[in-house]
């Protein structure tokens, strides 16, 4: 079985990734590895940040191989069957020239200069405030996801990059209880309800993340 080490501390993201990948893969996250390094997400693109997250975890796992091997290194398969997968993603709103973009997780905190990510409620409130006078037809937006895959022990093949986009509109108020982040405000094309109302099962058939993961699964099936 291929083992994935998902370079995220966002449990919602991790759950979506695991649900789309399905049971044929083993998955762990940074939560299973408390001493893995924090990564400063200071690149100006999703791909740049995803590369940083993947490379940092891959380097750490190569220096700490026991963390990557479920069998503790005894008779295990070593690092060759272990993949690091990083996801950097966010929301691009057309009328805001693509913001929040790479700043999606810390959109509200950018105003106060506070360190770290903002809460989903703070980010959604800021987005609604900025769009307060924007009519429905100008509220077009998309979620974008870039994933970077590194196969440990086979670094010469280099990182492989997959992306996915989901087009939609920003609503006028948060709706629904599912998902995370901007899901209560995002209505995917063809739907008059938000991702948070549609729920995980439907979201995972059409989201930016699901589209990137479908490409990743095809890649894995071909190697
Ligand atoms: P990691 O870096 O640990 O993976 P993070 O939440 O900080 O976790 P990102 O830096 O990629 O992840 O920021 C992504 C942000 O974009 C996330 O916090 C949400 O605000 C938003 N976002 C991304 N995908 C989303 C989705 O499927 N639904 C709603 N919001 C999403």
More confident residue, 163 or 153: 163
**How far is the C-alpha of 59 from the C-alpha of 57, rounded, in Å?**
5
Q: Residue 164 C-alpha to ligand 1 middle, in angstroms?
A: 14
**b/e map of 135-152 (b: 16 or more CB within 10 Å)?**
eeeebebbbbbbbbbbbb
pTM for this model (two decimals): 0.95
Q: Read off the pLDDT of residues 180-199 as tens digits, 9 standing for 90 and up.
A: 999 999 999 999 999 999 99
Tell me: pLDDT of 166 over 50. Answer: yes
Q: Average of pLDDT values for 136-159? A: 93
Tell me: pLDDT of 135 over 80. Answer: yes
Give pLDDT, residue 153. 85
Give pLDDT, residue 66. 82
**How far is the C-alpha of 181 from the C-alpha of 109, rounded, in Å?**
14
Give pLDDT, residue 72. 47
User: What pairing do the DSSP bridges indicate for beta strands 186-188 and 160-170?
Assistant: antiparallel
Residue 83's SS3 state is: strand
Active-site option among 42, 44, 69, 88? 88
The token pair that represents 196 in the structure block: 């948070």
Question: Does ligand 1 have an atom closer than 6 angstroms to the CB of 89?
Answer: yes
Report the sign of the C-alpha dihedral through residues 166, 167, 170, 175, in that order: negative
**b/e map of 208-219 (b: 16 or more CB within 10 Å)?**
bbbbbbeebbee
Question: Does ligand 1 have an atom closer than 6 angstroms to the CB of 122?
Answer: no
Q: Average of pLDDT values for 131-141? A: 98
Q: Read off the pLDDT of residues 67-92 as tens digits, 9 standing for 90 and up.
A: 876 654 444 455 558 999 999 999 99
69 catalytic per annotation: no
Integer-rounded Cα Rg, in Å, for the chain is 18
Q: Residue 67 C-alpha to ligand 1 middle, in angstroms?
A: 25
């Amino acid at each position: 079985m291929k083992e994935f080490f998902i370079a995220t501390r966002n449990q919602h993201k991790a759950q979506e990734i695991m649900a789309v990948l399905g049971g044929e893969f083993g998955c762990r996250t940074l939560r299973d590895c408390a001493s893995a390094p924090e990564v400063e997400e200071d690149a100006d693109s999703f791909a740049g940040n995803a590369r940083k997250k993947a490379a940092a975890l891959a380097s750490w796992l190569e220096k700490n191989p026991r963390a990557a091997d479920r069998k503790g290194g005894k008779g295990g398969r070593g690092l060759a069957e272990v993949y690091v997968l990083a996801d950097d993603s966010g929301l691009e709103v057309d009328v805001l020239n693509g913001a929040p973009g790479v700043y999606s997780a810390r959109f509200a905190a950018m105003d106060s200069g506070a360190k770290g990510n903002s809460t989903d409620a703070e980010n959604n409130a800021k987005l609604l405030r900025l769009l307060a006078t924007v009519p429905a037809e100008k509220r077009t937006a998309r979620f974008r996801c870039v994933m970077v895959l590194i196969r440990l022990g086979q670094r010469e093949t280099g990182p492989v990059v997959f992306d996915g986009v989901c087009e939609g509109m920003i609503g006028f108020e948060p709706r629904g209880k599912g998902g995370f982040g901007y899901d209560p405000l995002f209505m995917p094309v063809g739907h008059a309800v938000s991702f948070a109302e549609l729920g995980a099962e439907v979201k995972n058939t059409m989201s930016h993340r699901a589209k990137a993961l479908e490409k990743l699964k095809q890649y894995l099936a071909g190697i």
